[in-house]
Structures are given as C-alpha cells and as structure tokens.
Structure 1
C-alpha cells in the first residue's frame, strides 16, 4: 500500500540520519588518534570501514526487506544506528571498530531502501522526490562535518559522534506509525506481479547503473577526503579550505533540486544525465590546469555532485520494473559502487604520496568522470531492459 502525505514524507527525515554519523568522523580523526594511539594508516582504515560495510551489507538488504517488510527494515536500521553510535563512542577501543562497522551496516539498509520507498510512495514524481531526498541527505552530510569540531570542543569527540544517534532515535520514533498495518508486510516490495525477468546480475542495464553509482561515489569521497589537502598545497589556509568543502556540499543541494526536471519518466534522460555529470569532468580538469579559477571549479563540482547523485538514485528507480526489482538493483549498485568508493580515497592518497604531486590524482579523476559521463548518457537512453 502506498503511503501518502506526511507519512510518505517521513522518508526525507530518514535521509537526515544516513550521512552525519559518517561525515562527523573526519574532522575529529586527530582527536581520536591522540586518545587511542592509532596512526594515520589505522585512522584511514577506520574512515573507510563504513564504506566497506556498505559493500558487504547492501546485497543482503532485499532479503531482509522481503522477510520483514521495507518499513520495518528501515525501523530496525534506525534502532541499530542508535546502538552503534553508543558502542562506537563508549565501548572502548574494540567498540570503536565494531561500532563504526555497525554504523555503516545500518546506513547501508537506509541507502538501499530509501530509493525504493521513493519509487513506491511517489510513483509519478520519482525524480522530484529523489531531488528532495538528496537535498536532505546532502544537508545532513554538511551539518555532520560542520558541527563535529564545535561539538567536540563543547564536550569531547565521543559526544560529537554519539549526538547523531540521538537524531536517529527521534526519527525512529516518528517512523513507528509506518510499521503498523498491512503496508509493512513483507510482500510490500512487490505488491503487483511483474513478468519474469533474468537475474539482476545478468542485466546489462544493472551493470551500467552500478558503474555509474560507483564512479559517482568514488569522485564524491575522493573530493570530501582530499580537497582541503589539495587546496593546502596551493597555499589555501586549512580553515578556508574546510569552508570551501562545506560550500561544495551545500551547492550539491541546489544541483540535486535542479536536475529532476531533465530526468522525468517518459522522456529521454540521456541529455539530462550528461548535464548532471559533465561538470564533474570540467571541474576536475579546471583544478588540474587552472587552479587560479578555484571558485568556478568548486561551484561546478558542488552542483554536479548533487545532480549526479540524484541522477544515480533516479536511474535505480526508473530502470526497475517493480519495487522488489528496485531493491535488488539498488543493493547491487550500492554494494559494488561503495566497494569502489572505499578504494578511491586510499588510491588517491597513495598516488599523490608516490608521485609527490596531486596532479596525477586530479588527472585520474578527470578520466573517471569522463567515463561516468559516457556511461550516464547510455544509461539515460537505455530504457527498462
């Protein structure tokens, strides 16, 4: 049964919980390392752990939702997220690692199912609803990063990270009414029978969507992790570089809200996919060849990051023929996509360390975003097949 009104809109509140518990970690890594004795390598692995959890858990989400229902699965994920933030902050050194992985696992469930809920509850406005969902997601990501250090100064880094479990608890309480009634039954993912279709892993369009999602995520996490460091090599003060990153994230909200009109169902989405993605290639190329126009390239990166995320999530919904197929496609794309994304920041840093310059990393990003643009065009023209 489709949700309407404010009950359907609760999915946007879930989006508020899916990033800050992760983006809040980076700014306080120094404090974590100073207290726990972890070196840079271990801290890098700690930062990548949620992405590895995404890759491990995403393929399993459809089975969980089929058994318990999509609404109940989201509620369980929110409750696990609350517990995971507590364990991460207050269960000692082992809890730091276990809790961090559990945070990623809980968020993975939300990552996979929220596009499915958007498809189910907003079937005639998928791209617009996805734009609003992404705006909430992006805003929360920026808030987690921006508030992390002030909250740590107020108490300590443990409090700074556990706060986001409190947000998840509030949203879980608001979500409770959605688990009542037949719409939360396990069959809710596929309320209408659809013709038999091959396994999602044999579906060419699924691999295109997976490649697009993976490249989009890789670029995003490389930029979030290393952009302030790259700017530092150009003489930009650390505080200013951090502000630049916040602006990039906030511009993603505008990009995500503007692109849906080019990705409507029933029209050729190929040109819209190019509009969403090509500025990534232009922006990274600009950083490489003309860093003096920094603000122009940052604006392009910010707008395109938001637009390309909406494009990726919209394709997961539009290319699926049912809610169940959407969950399978989302699980596949996010599992392999985040596995690639987890390797991205490490590979970028390793390349810069070995060459002594960030130019090869930027050149690599130019190539990856150009490939992403081409894949997006083909995916947009592909239809449901």
Structure 2
C-alpha cells in the first residue's frame, strides 16, 4: 500500500470535528454523577461504602473493557467498534436514571464499558489519521474530554433542578451521546486513507516483557486514580469542609474547565525536548498543590487551589495519553500500548475512589485523606521519571518488539 504524505485536508478537519464530538461524551457520564451523590444517597439509602463502589465501578470497567477495543477493531473495524461503544453509552446513561438501585449500577457498568472501549480506540485512530501531529492532536482530544467533564460537573445540579430530579439529569446526557453517534455514523469515512501498513509483530506477550510499557501503564493508572477521585468525591469532600452543594459542584466544574488550557498546552510544552520528565513533574506538582489548598487551606485559597488542580490534572492526563503516541513507532503498537496502558491503568485507578469511600466510611480525618492523595501523586511522579525518558517501542526486522 502506498504512503500518502499529505492527508486530505477535508478528511483531517472532518476527523478532528468527530474526534472532539466523541471526546465530549467520554467524561460527562462520570463527572455528572459526583455533584449528585448526596441526593442519590439520600434518595436510595446507599451507604458511603456503596457510593464508593458506585464511583469505582465505571473506572474498573474502563480497565476491564479497554483491552477489548483492539480485539473488536481487528474484527469489525475501528469505526464500527466506536459506533458500538457510543450505542452502549446511550443505553447505560438511560438505565442509570431508571428507578431501581440495580439499574443504577448496571447503567453505570455499561457507561464504564463504553468509555473504556472508545477511549482506547481514539489514540490509535489519531496515530493513523494524523501521524505527523499525533501528539498535538491528542492534546485537542484531551481538551474535548476536559470540556465534557467540566460540563458534566457544572450542569448536573442545575439540570436536576430544572428537569425535576437527579434521575432526569443523568438521563439527559444521553442526548449528547445520541448526537455523537448520529454524526459518527453519518460522517466518518468508511475506509482509511492510503497509508503504509505498519509491520507485523509486537504481540501483547512481548509488550508485557517491556519495562517501558509497564511504566507508562502505572503512570496512566496513578494519575487517573487522582482524576477519578476528583470526579467521584471532590464535591463531597468540599461539602464536608462547609461549602454548599451548588458551590462544590461549580468548584469542581471550574477546575475541570481549567484543564482545557493545560490539556492543549502540555503536549506543546513537551515538544521542546524528547524527554517529557520536566513537563510531567511540573503538572504533577500543580496537582499536589491544588489538592493541598482545597483540602487544607482556608476559604480564601479555594480558587488558587481550583486553578492549580485543573492545570495539573489536565496536563498530566494529556501527557499520559501523549506518551502512548510518543513511546510507539506506529499505529499498531500505539493501539496495543493504549489497550495495556488504559486497561491496566484504569484497573489500578479504580482502587482510588473505592479507597476514599472506605476511608470516609471509617470517618478518618481530612488530614489523613489529604496524605493519601499526596502519596498517590508521589507514586505518579516516580513513574513519570521512568516513562518520561526518551525511549520508544519498535519492531525489528526479525519481527521482535524492542525498546530503543
């Protein structure tokens, strides 16, 4: 197959539009739940531990179902696999708002499965469609994720008040997912543009033998754990500190909105050198400072804390996704590393929200909770020093995977 060095500009613009529209749907299903947890607990009688399981379930499903994405894409094509994921997302969003605690958990499970599959596919699609600027385009995709997360956090309480309850607020996000599915099925080009076929080789078994793959996975998991703790528990923690329900939701929404800046800027910053360690340590330092200010400092420091937390989390997630692209030589390897990093990483990340639920059930102090969160930041920083090095996974002439 011949190599097309100059992608069709119309195809590139169309793909970017669809990528952003799909990305907008991969976080509201998670962030819209957190501001409503107090209402959900009061209405359903769920304990803090059960609420912790509810916030953990979608993240765990991200990890469990992410490895299915490359398998499905190989059999039915990445485009149809992504359409299937969007359909499952719509079903999960609707079921989550239907009366009955079991349906709340089943819908949440389906939401996590759909996001796990779709989120794993997109980095490989970006690498395929835009190989020359895949790292910056990953930043655009991450920016769409952050915007969707901000909308989910900021609008969930107003939607509940307007629509008459938290159930309708959760269901309403199915409309945005329906729009994305319709656009994807209508506009997505059915065949990939003419590109050189990546060399075969690099099985999952070989990938698991590469320390670099594990380092990227643990970095993805540890920083994602912090992100889903914020999505799942930050409004509850802020309410425990004396903020109102609406104010806590808007503070989380504002923090997620700030992520737009660093989600787009961090990959650009990382391009100044082949070593991404300085950029990773910078954004993780912002996460630590933001958490400390929000959970330990006075009310006057809440907005600096919101800004620092947003800058840090947007940048760390964007860079973690960018490393999947930068640490692989072709789209085939990017897809496999994406499945491993997001599958294993999100399984690891699921322990974070559950751990916070257990700590709240035990009624530990805010000081203990803050210390636990800062220890997770330290773990992410340690693996950032390893995964951020100038290394790349490639396939040799003999078909074997190696790190160079």
TM-score, with length taken from structure 2: 0.85
Task: Determine whether 1:377 maps to 2:388.
Answer: no
Residue in 1 that maps onto 2:218: 211
Cα displacement (A) at 1:58: 1.0
Cα displacement (A) at 1:190: 8.6
Structure-2 separation of matches of 1:355 and 1:37: 18
Post-superposition Cα deviations, 1:114-140, rounded to whole Å, max 9, x if no partner, equal: 111222222222222122111111111
Structure-2 separation of matches of 1:160 and 1:82: 14
Structure-1 separation of matches of 2:36 and 2:172: 14
Cα displacement (A) at 1:361: 1.9
Higher helix proportion: 1
Residue in 2 that maps onto 1:227: 234
Counterparts of 1:108-119 in structure 2, within 5 Å, are 108-119=116-127
Residue in 2 that maps onto 1:51: 59
Structure-2 separation of matches of 1:90 and 1:232: 27
Aligned-partner SS, 1:383? coil
Alpha carbons 2:49, 2:357 under 8 Å: kept: no
Post-superposition Cα deviations, 1:97-128, rounded to whole Å, max 9, x if no partner, equal: 22221111111111111111222222222222
Residue in 1 that maps onto 2:398: none
Residue in 2 that maps onto 1:174: 183
Structure-2 separation of matches of 1:174 and 1:210: 32
Structure 1 residues 23 and 227, CA gap change in structure 2 (3 angstroms): closer
Task: Determine whether 1:145 maps to 2:179.
Answer: no
Task: Determine whether 1:192 maps to 2:198.
Answer: yes
Structure-2 separation of matches of 1:26 and 1:227: 8
Cα displacement (A) at 1:74: 0.6
Residue in 2 that maps onto 1:5: 13
Aligned-partner SS, 1:320? coil
Alpha carbons 1:209, 1:315 under 8 Å: kept: yes
TM-score, with length taken from structure 1: 0.89
Structure 1 residues 120 and 40, CA gap change in structure 2 (3 angstroms): same
Structure 1 residues 189 and 228, CA gap change in structure 2 (3 angstroms): farther
Alpha carbons 1:127, 1:310 under 8 Å: kept: no
Structure 2 counterpart of 1:268, from 269, 272, 275? 275
Q: What RMSD in Å do the two structures reach over aligned CA positions?
A: 2.7
Structure-1 separation of matches of 2:240 and 2:94: 37
Structure-2 separation of matches of 1:355 and 1:152: 29
Residue in 2 that maps onto 1:165: 174
Q: Any gaps of 5 or more consecutive residues in structure 2?
A: 393-402
Structure 2 counterpart of 1:366, from 374, 388, 403? 374
Residue in 2 that maps onto 1:99: 107
Residue in 2 that maps onto 1:129: 137
Residue in 2 that maps onto 1:84: 92
Alpha carbons 1:270, 1:376 under 8 Å: kept: yes
Select between 26-35 and 8-17 the one with higher mean Cα deviation: 26-35
Counterparts of 1:58-69 in structure 2, within 5 Å, are 58-69=66-77
Structure-2 separation of matches of 1:280 and 1:99: 31
Count of paired positions: 382
Q: Any gaps of 5 or more consecutive residues in structure 1?
A: none
Structure 2 counterpart of 1:17, from 9, 18, 25? 25
Structure 1 residues 189 and 69, CA gap change in structure 2 (3 angstroms): farther
Alpha carbons 2:55, 2:354 under 8 Å: kept: no
Structure-1 separation of matches of 2:140 and 2:381: 23
Post-superposition Cα deviations, 1:212-243, rounded to whole Å, max 9, x if no partner, equal: 11111111122333333444454444433332
